[in-house]
Amino acid sequence: MSLTPLVPSFALVTIAELGNKTQLAVIALSAEYEFPLLVFTGVMMAFALVTGLGAIVGKVLTRVVPLKYI
């Protein structure tokens, strides 16, 4: 398995996400609270939940909506 697509995909998403409102919110929360590890843990759990829900909804949509419309 080649990891060639991994590096440019990671780089592109990293550059695209720099300075977005979610990142700024995380920075603000880390500055406000004295426990940045807990903020990091909460953010990672939230991202995992949102990503999981997106994957589930996407899977359901592919069964309901024809692929040519997606």
| Residue 6 burial class via C-beta count within 10 angstroms: exposed 0-12, middle 13-18, buried 19 and up | exposed
* pLDDT, tens digit only, all 70 positions of the chain: 787 888 898 898 888 888 888 889 999 999 999 899 999 999 999 999 999 999 999 999 999 998 888 7
Evaluate whether 62 touches 70 at the Cβ level (below 8 Å): yes
Task: Determine, yes or no, domain membership for 50.
Answer: yes
Number of domains in the chain: 1
Question: Does any domain span residue 15?
Answer: yes
Residue 35 domain flag: yes
In a domain? residue 34:
yes
The answer as to whether 10 is a domain residue is yes
d(CA 21, CA 32): 16
Domain that holds residue 33: 6-69
Answering whether pTM is above 0.85, one says no
